Amino acid sequence: MQLSWTSFLLCAALAAAPADLIVSAGKVVTMDAQRRVITDGAVAIAAGRILAVGPRAEIDRDYQAKRRIDRPDAILTPGLINTHTHAPMSLLRGIADDLDLQDWLTKFIFPAEGKNVNEEFVRAGTRLAVLEMMLGGTTTYTDMYYFEGAIADETKKAGMRGVLGQTIIGFPVSDYKTPQAALAGAELFIQKYKNDALITPAVAPHAIYTNSPETLKAARVLADKYGVPYIIHVSETQKENDDCAKDHAGATPTAYLQSLGVLNTGRTLFAHSVWSSPADIAILKAHHVGVAHCPSSNMKLGSGTAPIAAMLDAGVNVGLGPDGPAGSNNDFDMFEEMDLAAKLAKVTSRDPKVLPATKVFEMATLGGARALGMEKEIGSLEPGKRADLITVSQSAPNAWPAHDVYSMLVFALNASDVQDVIIEGRPTVENKRPLTLNPIEVRRQATAIRAKVDASLK
Ligand SMILES: [Zn+2]
C-alpha cells in the first residue's frame, strides 16, 4: 500500500508540467474573450509567458512551479497599460500648475527642459516614474520624450515594459537640434530595440503645431520601415483645432494628418483627441488609429472632454493615460485615470449609464493593448500571452465588503492597494515592495535634481 501511494504521488508529480511561477488569488479577472472572472483562480507562468489560467485546484493539479505567490484576499488582473505619458517629467512634478496649455508649455516647460534635460536627468526621472508606475500596477507604459534610448535602458533595467517614442520636434531641444537629426537618432534607437522582449521603440512627432508637414511624413516613413508605432498629440485643445483650421483650409488636425497620408499605413496612436468631430471619429476608425484618453490631464488643463463613448460606439480602440506629471496630472496613477474616465464621461453627458466600470477597466487593459496594436501580446490573461499581471489587495477598509469586481477596481480600489506586479513573468513588486529599484536611491537623485531645476529657474 505504501509503495503504491508513493508511485501514485510520483506519477501525479510527473504528470504536472513544470512552471516558473504560479500566482493565485481570490478572484482572477481574465479579460479573455468570455470575460471570465474565476473565483479562487490561478495563473501558471513559464519563460515570461502565461501557460494556463483557471481554477486554482486545476492549475495546481496540472503545473508544478518553482515559486508561487498566493493571495486569497486579492484580485488578480492583467497589468494596467498606460497609453500616454512623459516619464522623466516626474522630476518637474508641480513646477507650474493652473495655466493654459500654451503658457504652461512655452513659459515654463520648454524653458525648464531646455536648461535641465540631459541624459542624467532623463535616467533619474525614468527611474522615479517607473517606480511609481510599478507600485501602482502599471506593467506597460507609453512614453514620448527626449533621449528615449536612455529611457529604454532604464525601463529595461527595472524590468518594466515600455512603448517608447523618440520625440521629433521642429526646434532645437535637449537631445537633437533639428528634426532631421532626431529622425536619424530615432532610427538608431529603433534598430537597437526592435526585437527586445520588453521595449517597443516608436517614433513620436510631438504635434502638428510643432512639426512641418515634411517632418510629419518623414516620421511615418521611418515608423513603417521598421513596423513600429507612430505616436502624436492630436486635438488636445480647441486652440489647436482653431489654428489648424486657419492654416489648413478649415481642416481638423485629424483630417489634416489624413490629408498628409500619414494615417494610411502602420500603427498610429493619437494622444488626447479631445476635440474630435464625428467625421474625425470616422477617420480614426477607418485608419485603425488608437486613442490615448487622458482624463486627468484634460480636466486639469481645462482642455475639454474627449468624446470617448462615441469613439467606443464607433469601434475605435481607446486606452487610458495619465499624461506627464509636470503640470497636467501630476502623477502616474492609472486607478485615478479609470475613476476619472468614468466620472468625466458621466458628468458631461449627465448620464450615469455612460462608460460603465466594465468598459473603463477594459480601456485600462485590453483596450490599451489594442490602441497600441499589441493585443496579441498583452492586455488579458490568456495562454501564450506575455505574463504581465498584478494582484490588488482587498485587505483595506475601502475594499470591504466586495461586490462586483469591476466596480471595485474602477471606483473603490487605489494604486496603493496594488500588492504584487509581475512583468514578463518576473515579479518586480512583491507584497508592495519594489524588487528592481531602490526607492531610497531614486528619491535621493530626484531631490538632488530638483535643487538644480529650482536654481536654473531663478
Ligand atoms: Zn502628452
Q: Are residues 47 and 74 in the same domain?
A: yes
Strand, coil or helix: what is 270? strand
Q: Report angle CA 332, 333, 336 to the nearest 5 degrees.
A: 140
Q: Is residue 376 part of a domain?
A: no
User: How far, in Å, from the CA of 105 to the mean position of ligand 1?
Assistant: 11
Q: Are residues 42 and 98 in the same domain?
A: no
User: How far, in Å, from the CA of 16 to the mean position of ligand 1?
Assistant: 48
Domain boundary among 345, 371, 397: 371
User: How far, in Å, from the CA of 354 to the mean position of ligand 1?
Assistant: 25
User: How far, in Å, from the CA of 422 to the mean position of ligand 1?
Assistant: 27
pLDDT in tens, 365-393: 999 999 999 999 999 999 999 999 999 99
Q: Is residue 25 part of a domain?
A: yes
User: How far, in Å, from the CA of 234 to the mean position of ligand 1?
Assistant: 10
Domain boundary among 317, 344, 371: 371
User: How far, in Å, from the CA of 218 to the mean position of ligand 1?
Assistant: 21
Q: Is residue 366 part of a domain?
A: yes
Q: Are residues 172 and 135 in the same domain?
A: yes
User: How far, in Å, from the CA of 8 to the mean position of ligand 1?
Assistant: 59
User: How far, in Å, from the CA of 324 to the mean position of ligand 1?
Assistant: 6
User: How far, in Å, from the CA of 86 to the mean position of ligand 1?
Assistant: 6
Q: Are residues 51 and 101 in the same domain?
A: no
C-alpha distance across the termini of the chain, in Å? 84
Q: Are residues 245 and 348 in the same domain?
A: yes
User: How far, in Å, from the CA of 436 to the mean position of ligand 1?
Assistant: 27
User: How far, in Å, from the CA of 47 to the mean position of ligand 1?
Assistant: 34
Q: Are residues 255 and 391 in the same domain?
A: no
Tell me what pLDDT residue 12 has: 53
Distances (CA, A) of 39 to 29, 305, 319, 428, 436: 9, 37, 27, 25, 30
User: How far, in Å, from the CA of 406 to the mean position of ligand 1?
Assistant: 28
Place of cell 500648475: 97
User: How far, in Å, from the CA of 39 to the mean position of ligand 1?
Assistant: 38
User: How far, in Å, from the CA of 330 to the mean position of ligand 1?
Assistant: 12
Identify the CATH number of the domain in which residue 323 sits: 3.20.20.140
Tell me what pLDDT residue 324 has: 92
User: How far, in Å, from the CA of 256 to the mean position of ligand 1?
Assistant: 20
Question: What phi and psi values does residue 51 have, to the nearest 5 degrees?
Answer: -85, -45
Q: Are residues 208 and 249 in the same domain?
A: yes
User: How far, in Å, from the CA of 443 to the mean position of ligand 1?
Assistant: 24
User: How far, in Å, from the CA of 145 to the mean position of ligand 1?
Assistant: 9
Walk across the sheet containing 433-434 and list its strands: 49-55, 37-46, 17-29, 63-78, 389-393, 418-423, 426-430, 433-434
* Ordered DSSP codes for 412-428: I--GGGEEEEEETTEEE
Q: Which residues of the chain have pLDDT under 50?
A: 1-2
Q: Are residues 116 and 153 in the same domain?
A: yes
Q: Is residue 34 part of a domain?
A: yes
Tell me what pLDDT residue 103 has: 86
How many other CB atoms are there within 10 angstroms of residue 260's CB atom? 16
User: How far, in Å, from the CA of 392 to the mean position of ligand 1?
Assistant: 28
Place of cell 471619429: 281
> Which range marks the domain in which residue 397 is found?
17-78+381-434
Q: Are residues 318 and 269 in the same domain?
A: yes
Identify the CATH number of the domain in which residue 398 sits: 2.30.40.10
Q: Are residues 68 and 90 in the same domain?
A: no
The amino acid that residue 285 corresponds to is K
Under DSSP, the state recorded for 288 is T
User: How far, in Å, from the CA of 390 to the mean position of ligand 1?
Assistant: 26
User: How far, in Å, from the CA of 425 to the mean position of ligand 1?
Assistant: 30
User: How far, in Å, from the CA of 297 to the mean position of ligand 1?
Assistant: 9
The total domain count for the chain is 2
Q: Are residues 336 and 406 in the same domain?
A: no
Q: Are residues 198 and 272 in the same domain?
A: yes
Tell me what pLDDT residue 49 has: 98
User: How far, in Å, from the CA of 270 to the mean position of ligand 1?
Assistant: 10
Domain boundary among 371, 396, 415: 371
Contact (Cβ atoms closer than 8 angstroms) between residue 257 and residue 220: no
User: How far, in Å, from the CA of 310 to the mean position of ligand 1?
Assistant: 22
The amino acid that residue 66 corresponds to is K
Q: Is residue 9 part of a domain?
A: no
- Torsion angle (degrees, nearest 10) of CA 164, 371, 417, 144: 20
Q: Is residue 8 part of a domain?
A: no
User: How far, in Å, from the CA of 323 to the mean position of ligand 1?
Assistant: 5
Where b means 16+ CB within 10 Å and e means fewer, 73-90 reads: ebbbbbbbbbbbbbbbbb
Q: Is residue 24 part of a domain?
A: yes
Tell me what pLDDT residue 379 has: 98
User: How far, in Å, from the CA of 144 to the mean position of ligand 1?
Assistant: 7
Q: Is residue 164 part of a domain?
A: yes
Q: Which three cell numbers stand for residue 106?
A: 512655452
User: How far, in Å, from the CA of 85 to the mean position of ligand 1?
Assistant: 6
User: How far, in Å, from the CA of 341 to the mean position of ligand 1?
Assistant: 17
User: How far, in Å, from the CA of 403 to the mean position of ligand 1?
Assistant: 35
User: How far, in Å, from the CA of 322 to the mean position of ligand 1?
Assistant: 9
User: How far, in Å, from the CA of 103 to the mean position of ligand 1?
Assistant: 15
